[in-house]
């Protein structure tokens, strides 16, 4: 009889622990992912892509894209994430931020698509499905 009371007490404690655990998990902040894609649309040229975040230091290393190839990475959005990318072909290059708030707004969502062409670099607005010219190439 006494063991039946203890078993009920253990069951009640287990139910309370599960309920508290679920309610605290519901309050935990959910991290959003942001996606960045580069498309090499250069006329028969190789595109070098190198993206870095300074704090914490993350170097995604050099990615060499042949014509029409793509490269994509993603990261969890936090206050410290501020990726800057260098795109280079031949003797021309361009550095720009891909993870700041204005750029994300221009993307029209959490998936930014950059297209490298001979005339420069354009960003796709996913809501309008149109590319907007953003940067020219520097020598």
Same domain, 51 and 2: no
Distance of CA 17 to the CA centre of its chain: 36
Same domain, 49 and 76: yes
Closest CA to 91 of 139, 132, 46: 139
Q: In 3-state terms, what secondary structure has residue 26?
A: helix
**How far apart, in whole angstroms, are the C-alpha atoms of residue 93 and residue 113?**
18
Average pLDDT over every residue of 82-104: 94
Over residues 112-135, the pLDDT tens digits come to 999 999 999 999 999 999 999 999
Checking if the pLDDT of 34 tops 80, the result is yes
Same domain, 116 and 91: yes
Same domain, 38 and 71: yes
Q: How many domains does the chain have?
A: 2
Write out the residue range of the structural domain in which residue 54 sits. 33-135
Which residues lie closer than 8 Å to 43 by C-beta, 6 or more apart?
Answer: 67, 118
Average pLDDT over every residue of 12-33: 57
Same domain, 75 and 89: yes
Rounded to two decimals, the pTM is 0.77
Same domain, 63 and 118: yes
- Residue 65, class by beta-carbon neighbours within 10 Å (0-12 exposed, 13-18 middle, 19+ buried)? buried
Same domain, 40 and 106: yes
To which residue do tokens 């800057």 refer?
A: 84
Which residues lie closer than 8 Å to 9 by C-beta, 6 or more apart?
Answer: none
Same domain, 89 and 39: yes
Same domain, 4 and 57: no
Task: Name the pairing type of β-strands 33-40 and 111-117.
Answer: parallel
Same domain, 7 and 65: no
Same domain, 18 and 86: no
């Amino acid at each position: 009889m006494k063991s039946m009371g203890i078993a009920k007490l253990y069951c009640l404690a287990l139910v309370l622990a599960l309920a508290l655990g679920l309610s605290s998990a519901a309050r935990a902040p959910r991290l959003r992912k942001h996606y960045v894609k580069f498309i090499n649309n250069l006329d028969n040229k190789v595109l070098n892509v190198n993206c870095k975040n300074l704090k914490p230091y993350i170097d995604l290393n050099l990615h060499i894209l042949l014509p029409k190839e793509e490269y994509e990475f993603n990261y969890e959005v936090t206050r410290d994430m501020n990726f800057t990318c260098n795109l280079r072909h031949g003797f021309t290059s361009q550095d720009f931020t891909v993870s700041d708030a204005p750029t994300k707004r221009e993307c029209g969502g959490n998936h930014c698509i950059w297209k490298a062409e001979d005339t420069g670099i354009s960003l796709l607005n996913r809501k309008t499905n149109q590319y907007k010219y953003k940067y020219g190439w520097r020598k």
